[in-house]
C-alpha cells in the first residue's frame, strides 16, 4: 500500500523573480517592490447601508402610539380574574396563553414605525418579568396610559423634559408610600392567596405552591418541569445536592440501586488533585481507626490514589467514596466553601497552602447522611452547623442583591437553596401539549409572585392599590413648582386607575364607576371582580405582591418618559416586493 506524506502548507508572500529581487545568501525581499505590488492588488470594499424612513413630530408620535395601542389592547384582554386567553400561532401546535409577557414577545407588527412602539411595551413587560416575575400585563397597561396622556400634553405644547421630571418625582414619592403601606406575608394563607390570584384564580395551583414553600422554606428553590402523567405533583429533595457522582462504581454500597449510602460519615473537601498514595495514606489510617465512612471531594482522584481507595473499600478495611468537585473556576471554589460550611469541614485550598497529605481528622466535616448515585450526590447536614449555614446564606443574599446578571442570580439562588436544604420540583401534568404550556406559565407566575411577596410584602389586589396611590398624588404635586412637572404628576394620577378600570371592563362592569367607588374607600378595600362585590380585599385573599406593583409602576414610567422625550423615529425603509413574472407563453399551466 502506497504511503502518503501530509504536510501543512502556509501562505507565502515571496514574489516571483520578475516581481522582486532575491538575495541568494540571505533570501531577502525587496520591500519596496512588495509594497508596490500590494498597492496594485489592493481591492476596495464599499459598505452600503439600506435606505431609512424618517418621521418627525406628530407623525412619529402617532405611529408609535398606534403600535403601543395594538400590543396593549391584546395584552390587556388577559387582565383580571375574568380576563380571556389569547391564541398564539407559533411553530407546531398553537399556544393558548394568559401570560402578558409571552403574548408581548410574540407580537411583531408589519409597519416598522408601529413595531418600534410595540417594542417599547415589550421592553416594559420583559423588564417587569425579569425583576418581579409577574405583573407584566399591569405594567403594559400602565405604560400605554402614561404614554397616551403624556403625548396629548406634548402635542398641546408642554415641555416633554419637564413632564418626564414630574413623572419621575411622582413615581419616586409613590414608591416610598407603597413601601410604608405594604404589610409582610403572614403564614400559609397569604402565600396560597398570592399564588392563586397570580395563576388566574386557580386554588389548586395556590395550594400546591403553599405546600412547596412549607417544605422548602422561603429560601428554597421551586423548579418547574413537565410531567409524563396527567397529574401535577410536588416532589421535595432534602439536603444539599451536588451534580457529581462517584468516580468509580466499585464504591457502591447498595448494589440493587447502584448507590453509595453513608450515615454519620466524615467529609474531606479540597480543590487539589489527588493522584499519589502518600497524599491520602495518613488520612486513611486515621479514619480507619474511627470506624466511620469517608467521602472525599477533590478536583480529581486518579492513578494509584484511586486504586488504593478501591482496594481498601473492597477488602472492607475502610468504607470510602470519592467524587469530583462541582462547578468550574471561581464558582467551584465558592461551591466547595459551601460544602465545607454545611459539613463543618475545613476547606483545604491550595492557594492557602493547606495540603491534603498534612490533613488530620479534625479538619474533616461530618454529615448525618450521604447518598451518591452515578451522577449526583446528596448531603444531609448535621444540625450542629446551622448557625454557620445561616451566616453563609446571609452573605450570598448580599451578593444576590448587588448582581444584575440573570445567570449569576440563578446560580446564587441555587446556592442559597442548597445551603438551606430545600429544592421542590413541581411536575406539571396536562391532557394536551397546549394545556401543559398554559399551566406551566401560570405556575411560573404564581411562583415568582409568591417569592416577590415574601421579599417586600403585600398590598390590596385588583388594581385597588394603584387607585389608592392615585389619591396620594395631590400631596406630591403640591411640592412641585414647575407647571409642566405638575402636569406630569397629573398624568400619573390619571394613569394609575387604568388597571382597575380594565379589570372591571373585562368582568363586564363599567370601569369608571368601579374606580370612583374604590377611591372613596379605605386602603384595604376594593372591587373583587370574581364575586362582583366591594370588600376588604386583604381579608378575602385578593392581594398582590408589593414588589410586583412597584416594579410595574417604575418600569412603565421609565419607558413612558423615554417615549415622551422622542421627537423623531428612524426605521428601515420597506423594500418593494419583486413582481412575480407570468407563465411563459406557449406552455400550458
- Over 90: is that where the pLDDT of 291 sits? no
pLDDT band at 236 (very low <50, low <70, confident <90, very high): confident
Contact (Cβ atoms closer than 8 angstroms) between residue 183 and residue 457: yes
Mean pLDDT of the 539-563 span: 92
Q: Predicted confidence band at 587 (pLDDT cuts at 50, 70, 90)?
A: low
Out of 151-165, 171-185, 409-423, least confident range: 409-423
Q: Measure the CA–CA gap between 511 and 505, rounded to whole angstroms.
A: 5
* pLDDT-derived band at 12, boundaries 50, 70, 90: very low
What is the rounded average pLDDT of the residues 8-34? Answer: 44
| pLDDT at 42 exceeding the cut of 80 | no
Q: What pLDDT shows up at residue 159?
A: 93
577 vs 557: CA distance, rounded Å? 39
C-alpha to C-alpha distance for 69 and 480, rounded to whole angstroms: 30
pLDDT interval class at 486 (50, 70, 90): very high
Q: Residue 466: pLDDT above 50?
A: yes
Q: Residue 353's pLDDT is what?
A: 79
**Average pLDDT estimate for 308-328:** 86
Give me 550's grid cell: 412597584
SS (H, E, C) 230-278: CCCEEEEEECEEECCCECCHHHCCECCCCEEEEEEEEEEEECCEECCHH
29, pLDDT greater than 80: no
* pLDDT at position 25: 40
Residue 589 pairs in a beta bridge with none
Residue pair 544/461 in contact (Cβ under 8 Å)? The answer is yes
**DSSP category for residue 452:** H
pLDDT band at 34 (very low <50, low <70, confident <90, very high): low
Percent of the chain topping pLDDT 90: 29
Task: Give Cβ neighbours of residue 536 (< 8 Å, ≥ 6 apart).
Answer: 524, 525
Q: How far is CA 300 from CA 211, 251, 273, 356, in A?
A: 40, 16, 5, 13
Is the pLDDT at 97 greater than 80? The verdict is yes
pLDDT of residue 1: 41
Highest mean pLDDT among 25-29, 436-440, 501-505: 501-505
Would you place residue 32 in the very low, low, confident or very high pLDDT band (cuts 50, 70, 90)?
low
Confidence class of residue 6 from pLDDT cuts 50, 70 and 90?
very low
Give the residue with greater pLDDT, 321 vs 31: 321
The answer on pLDDT for 41 being more than 70 is no
Of the listed ranges 136-150, 175-189, 402-416, the least confidently predicted one is 402-416
Please check whether residue 253 is in contact with residue 261, taking contact to mean a CB–CB distance below 8 angstroms.
yes
Place of cell 461530618: 366
Three-point CA angle 532, 537, 542, nearest 5°: 85
pLDDT by residue (tens digit) across 192-204?
A: 989 988 887 888 8
> Which residues, including other chains, have CB under 8 Å from residue 284's CB and lie 6 or more apart?
294, 308, 309, 312, 318, 320
**Residue 4: which pLDDT band, with cuts at 50, 70 and 90?**
very low
**Which residues, in sequence order, are bridge partners of residue 246?**
323
Q: Is the pLDDT of residue 113 over 70?
A: yes
Looking at residues 182-207, what average pLDDT do you find?
A: 87
At 505 the pLDDT is: 93
Q: What spatial distance separates the first Cα and last Cα of the chain, rounded to whole Å? A: 59
Residue identified by cell 395550594 is 207
**pTM for this predicted structure:** 0.70
How does strand 377-381 pair with strand 300-301? unpaired
When pLDDT is cut at 50, 70 and 90, the band that residue 115 belongs to is very high
Question: How confident is the model over 355-373, as a mean pLDDT?
Answer: 85
Average pLDDT over all residues of the chain = 83
Amino acid at each position: 500500500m502506497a504511503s502518503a506524506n501530509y504536510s501543512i502548507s502556509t501562505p507565502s508572500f515571496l514574489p516571483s523573480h520578475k516581481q522582486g529581487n532575491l538575495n541568494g545568501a540571505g533570501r531577502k525581499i525587496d520591500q519596496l517592490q512588495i509594497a508596490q505590488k500590494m498597492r496594485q492588488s489592493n481591492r476596495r470594499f464599499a459598505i452600503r447601508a439600506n435606505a431609512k424612513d424618517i418621521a418627525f413630530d406628530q407623525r412619529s408620535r402617532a405611529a408609535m402610539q398606534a403600535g403601543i395601542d395594538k400590543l396593549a389592547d391584546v395584552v390587556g384582554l388577559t387582565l383580571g380574574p375574568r380576563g380571556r386567553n389569547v391564541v398564539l400561532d407559533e411553530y407546531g401546535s398553537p399556544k393558548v396563553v394568559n401570560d402578558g409577557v409571552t403574548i408581548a414577545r410574540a407580537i411583531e407588527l408589519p409597519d416598522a414605525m408601529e413595531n418600534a412602539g410595540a417594542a417599547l411595551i415589550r421592553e416594559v413587560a420583559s423588564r417587569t418579568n425579569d425583576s418581579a416575575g409577574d405583573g407584566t400585563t399591569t405594567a403594559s397597561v400602565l405604560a400605554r396610559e402614561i404614554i397616551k396622556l403624556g403625548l396629548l400634553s406634548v402635542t398641546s405644547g408642554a415641555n416633554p423634559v419637564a413632564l418626564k421630571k414630574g413623572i419621575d418625582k411622582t413615581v419616586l414619592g409613590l414608591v416610598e408610600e407603597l413601601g410604608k403601606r405594604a404589610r409582610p406575608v403572614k403564614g400559609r394563607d397569604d402565600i396560597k392567596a398570592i399564588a392563586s390570584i397570580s395563576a388566574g384564580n386557580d386554588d389548586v395551583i395556590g395550594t400546591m405552591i403553599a405546600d412547596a414553600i412549607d417544605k422548602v422554606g422561603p429560601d428554597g428553590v421551586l423548579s418547574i418541569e413537565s410531567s409524563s402523567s396527567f397529574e401535577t405533583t410536588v416532589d421535595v429533595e432534602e439536603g444539599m445536592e451536588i451534580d457529581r457522582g462517584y468516580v468509580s462504581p466499585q464504591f457502591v454500597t447498595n448494589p440493587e440501586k447502584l448507590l453509595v449510602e453513608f450515615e454519620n460519615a466524615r467529609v474531606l473537601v479540597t480543590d487539589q488533585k489527588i493522584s499519589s498514595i502518600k497524599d491520602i495514606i495518613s488520612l486513611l489510617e486515621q479514619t480507619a481507626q474511627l470506624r466511620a465512612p469517608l467521602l472525599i471531594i477533590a478536583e480529581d482522584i486518579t492513578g494509584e490514589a484511586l486504586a488504593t481507595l478501591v482496594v481498601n473499600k473492597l477488602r472492607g478495611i475502610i468504607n470510602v467514596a470519592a467524587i469530583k468537585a462541582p462547578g468550574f473556576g471561581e464558582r467551584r471554589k465558592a461551591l466547595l466553601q459551601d460544602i465545607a460550611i454545611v459539613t463543618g469541614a475545613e476547606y483545604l485550598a491550595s492557594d492557602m497552602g493547606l495540603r491534603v497529605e498534612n490533613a488530620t481528622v479534625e479538619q474533616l466535616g461530618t454529615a448525618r447522611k450521604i447518598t451518591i448515585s452515578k451522577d449526583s450526590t446528596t448531603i444531609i447536614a448535621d444540625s450542629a452547623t446551622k448557625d454557620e449555614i445561616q451566616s453563609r446564606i446571609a452573605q450570598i443574599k448580599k451578593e444576590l442583591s448587588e448582581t444584575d446578571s440573570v445567570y449569576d442570580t440563578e446560580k446564587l439562588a441555587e446556592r442559597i437553596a442548597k445551603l438551606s436544604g430545600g429544592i421542590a420540583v413541581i411536575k406539571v401534568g396536562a391532557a394536551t401539549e397546549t394545556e401543559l404550556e398554559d399551566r406551566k406559565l401560570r405556575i411560573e407566575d404564581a411562583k415568582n409572585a409568591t417569592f416577590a411577596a415574601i421579599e417586600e410584602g403585600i398590598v390590596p389586589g385588583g388594581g385597588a392599590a394603584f387607585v389608592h396611590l392615585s389619591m396620594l398624588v395631590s400631596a406630591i404635586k403640591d411640592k412641585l413648582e414647575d407647571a409642566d412637572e405638575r402636569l406630569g404628576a397629573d398624568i400619573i394620577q390619571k394613569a394609575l386607575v387604568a388597571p382597575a378600570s380594565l379589570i372591571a371592563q373585562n368582568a363586564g362592569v363599567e370601569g369608571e364607576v368601579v374606580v370612583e367607588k374604590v377611591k372613596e374607600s379605605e386602603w384595604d378595600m376594593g372591587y373583587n371582580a370574581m364575586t362582583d362585590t366591594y370588600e376588604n380585599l386583604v381579608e378575602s385573599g385578593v392581594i398582590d405582591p408589593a414588589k410586583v406593583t412597584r416594579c410595574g409602576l417604575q418600569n412603565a414610567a421609565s419607558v413612558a418618559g423615554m417615549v415622551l422625550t422622542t421627537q423623531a423615529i428612524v426605521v428601515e425603509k420597506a423594500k418593494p416586493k419583486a413582481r412575480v413574472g407570468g407563465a411563459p407563453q406557449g406552455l400550458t399551466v
